[in-house]
Chain A
Amino acid sequence: MHIAEGVLSIPVLATGAAGAIAALTFSLRLLPWNHLASVSILSSAFFVASLIHIPLGPGSVHLILNGLLGALLGWAAIPAITVALLLQAMLFQFGGFTTLGVNICIMALPAVVCGLLSRPFFTRPSHRPWAAFVCGAGAVALSGTLCAMALAFSGDAFFTTAWALFLAHIPVMLIEGFLTMTTVGYLARVHPALLTLRGEL
C-alpha cells in the first residue's frame, strides 16, 4: 500500500511529513511508558502478519491489517505503524525517509479513524461482525483513497496510476474485511479482554 521513494512531489511530501509529526506527537503523549512493551509486541505480531501472503486466484495478496491494529490499539496504532514502516524501510527498502510521513498518514490515520469509529459496536454481539468488517475493509479503502490522492496531487500524469492502484486494492479490502470480522469474532470468544485494550492504551 505504501508509496516508494522518488514518486511524490515536494509539496505532497511536506504535507505528509507535517501531518505525521502532528499525529505522532499527539499519540506519543497519550501512550504511557508502562504500556510500551504491550504495544511493541503487538506491533511485531502485526509486522509478521503483514508479511503473510493470502492466496487470491492464481496469485496472492499480502495483508495490511491497519483496521484491526487501530481497533486493538486505538491511538497507539500511529507509533506502532510508524515503527513498522521504519523497519520496512531499513530492512527491505520499501518506502524510505522522505516518504515516511506520507506513508504514516496513508496507513495510520485510517487505522485510528476506523478503529475508533467501529470499536463501540464490538461490545454488542449482533453488531460485532459487520462493525469489524467495515473496520477492516474501510481502513484499506481509506488508505487506498489517501494513496491515490497523494499520487494524484503529485501530478496530472499520475491520475491513471492512482485509479489503477485504488481498483487493485478492492479485492484486498474485501479479504481484509472478512479476516478482520473473523479474527475479531475469534478474539471475542477466546479472549474478550483483548478487544477492550484501547481503554488501557
Chain B
Amino acid sequence: MNPSCSGEQQRHPFSLQTMQASKKLGAAFVFSLAISMLVQPQSALFACTVSLLLLFLSELPLLHIIHRMLTINVFFLFLWLLLPLAPVRTAQDPLFSFGPLALERAGVMLALLITLKGNAMAGALLALAGSSDMITNGHALRSLGMPRKLVALFLITYSNIALMSDEYRRLFEAARLRAFTPHTSLASYKTYASLLGLLLLRAWQRSQRIDEAMRLRCFCGHFPLISAKHSSAQPLYSTLLFLMCLCSALLILLFDKLP
C-alpha cells in the first residue's frame, strides 16, 4: 500500500524517509493549518512550491505522486464545474458567457484558490505522512498525544485491512465463478449485500479469535515499538524539517496578509 517502505537503500541525509514520523506529522499539521487560513491565490501558489520541495525530498515514486494528485483533483474539478458558473442575468463581473450561463471572475478566483490550497495541503501530507509506513505513523500519533485506545484501534485496523481485502477478493471471485456479473439491478445489489454480510461475519469470527489470542498474551493496550526505521531516524534533521515547515507556514501567512 505504501511504496515508501519497500527495501532498504542508501538515502541522502535530507530524505524525508529517514526522518522521525512524529516531527513529520507535526510539520504536516502546522503547514496544513496555515494553508487553510490563506485567502490569496499568490500565497497558495507559494505554499504549492513548498509542497513540491517536500515531495522532492520524500523520494516517493513519481508515478505514485502523479496518480495520487490526479485522484485528489477530481473533487476540485467538480468545484470548477460549479463555482464559476452563474446564470447570465445574475452574473457579476462575467469573464465570458455561453448560452444562458456566464463565467464569473469571483468564482474562478475562488476555485483557483481552493485548488491551489487543496493541492498544497495534499502534496505536503503525501510527502510527510506517505514517506513513513503506517505502523510508524501510528506510534508517531501516540507520541503526539493521541489517546492510547485510538492508536491501538489505528494499528489493529491497519494491520487487518490487507487480510479483509483478500477475504473480499476471495468472496467476489467465488461469486464470479458462479456467473455473477455486476450491473445495475436489484439481483446484483442483493449479491453485493450477501458478500458484505459474509465479509462482516468473517471479520467478526476473526476478531473473536484475535481477541482470545491477545488476551492470552496479556494484551493491555500497549504495542511495543519494533520498527527499526523509527529508531534509526535522525533527530537533528527531523527538527530542522519541522522548523523549516513552521517558518514556511509563518512566511506564507505573512505574505498572505500583504495588501
Residues of A within 8 A of B (CB): 4-8, 10, 13, 24, 28, 31, 33-45, 47-49, 51-52, 54-57, 63, 65, 72, 79-80, 82-84, 86-87, 89-94, 96-98, 155, 157-158, 160-161, 164, 175, 178-179, 181-183, 186-187, 190-191, 194
Give the Cβ gap from B224 to chain A, nearest Cβ, in Å: 16
B204 within 8 Å of A by Cβ? yes
Please, which residues of chain A bring their CB within 8 A of the CB of B28? Answer: 97
Docked CA distance A117–B43 (Å): 47
User: Contact at B150–A49, with CB atoms within 8 Å?
Assistant: no
The distance from the CB of A3 to the nearest CB of chain B, in whole angstroms, is: 8
Contact surface of B with A, Cβ cutoff 8 Å: 1-2, 28-29, 32-33, 35-37, 68, 71-72, 75-76, 78-79, 82-83, 106-107, 110, 114-122, 125-126, 129-130, 134, 137, 141, 147, 149-150, 152-154, 156-158, 160-161, 163-165, 167-168, 182-184, 186, 188-190, 192-194, 196-204, 206-208, 210-211, 214-215, 219-221
Given contacts A47-B161, A96-B121, list 17 more A-B pairs with CB under 8 A.
A6-B115, A33-B149, A36-B153, A44-B156, A44-B163, A45-B164, A52-B192, A54-B189, A54-B192, A55-B184, A55-B188, A93-B126, A98-B32, A98-B33, A161-B78, A178-B193, A194-B204
A55 engages B183 (CB within 8 Å): yes
B200 and A90 form a contact (CB under 8 A): no
Given known A-B contacts A34-B215, A41-B207, A90-B129, A79 and B153 have beta carbons under 8 A apart: yes
Please determine whether A79 and B150 come into contact, CB atoms closer than 8 angstroms: yes
- CB–CB A40/B118 < 8 A: no
Q: SS class of chain A's interface: helix, strand, loop or mixed?
A: helix
CA distance A69 to B136 in the complex (A): 27
Whether the Cβ atoms of A43 and B153 lie closer than 8 Å is: yes
Q: Is the CB of B157 within 8 A of A40?
A: yes
Shortest distance between the CB of A45 and any CB in chain B (Å): 4
The answer to whether B157 touches A47, judged by C-beta atoms less than 8 angstroms apart, is yes
- Neighbour of A47 across the interface among B114, B164, B198, CB < 8 A: B164
- Assess whether A41 is in contact with B156, with CB atoms less than 8 Å apart: yes
